[in-house]
Amino acid sequence: MTPVILLAEAEKSAEVTHWGGRIGWLVGLVLFIALVYWLMREGWKWRGTLQGDLPELPSAPEETGPARLSMSGRYHGSTTAGQWLDRIVAHGLGTRSRAELTLTDAGLEVERPGATDFFVPTAALRGARLDKGIAGKVLTEDGLLVVTWAHGDKLIDSGFRSDHAAEHTEWVDTLNQMINDTEGAR
pLDDT, position 6: 58
Same structural domain for residues 104 and 33?
no
Domain presence at residue 1: no
Same structural domain for residues 119 and 46?
no
Domain presence at residue 123: yes
pLDDT, position 120: 92
Same structural domain for residues 101 and 153?
yes
Same structural domain for residues 81 and 131?
yes
Domain presence at residue 174: yes
d(CA 178, CA 127): 9
3-state helix, strand, coil in the chain (%, to 5): 30, 35, 35
Same structural domain for residues 168 and 77?
yes
> 3-state secondary structure string, 5-54?
CCCCCCCCCCCCCCHHHHHHHHHHHHHHHHHHHHHHHHHHHHHHHHCCCC
Same structural domain for residues 95 and 27?
no
Is 135 strand, coil or helix?
coil
Say which CATH number the domain at 165 has.
2.30.29.30
d(CA 95, CA 161): 14
Same structural domain for residues 76 and 166?
yes
What are residue 48's phi and psi, to 5 degrees?
Answer: -65, -40
pLDDT, position 98: 94
pLDDT, position 119: 92
Count of the separate structural domains present in the chain: 2
Instruction: Report the chain (186 residues): mean pLDDT per 10 consecutive residues.
Output: 60 71 93 96 85 82 85 91 85 88 91 89 91 78 88 90 89 90 68
d(CA 9, CA 114): 67
Domain carrying residue 34 = 19-50
pLDDT, position 50: 81
d(CA 94, CA 174): 26
Same structural domain for residues 152 and 100?
yes
pLDDT, position 15: 67
d(CA 109, CA 58): 10
What are residue 59's phi and psi, to 5 degrees?
Answer: -105, 160
d(CA 153, CA 93): 16
Same structural domain for residues 43 and 72?
no
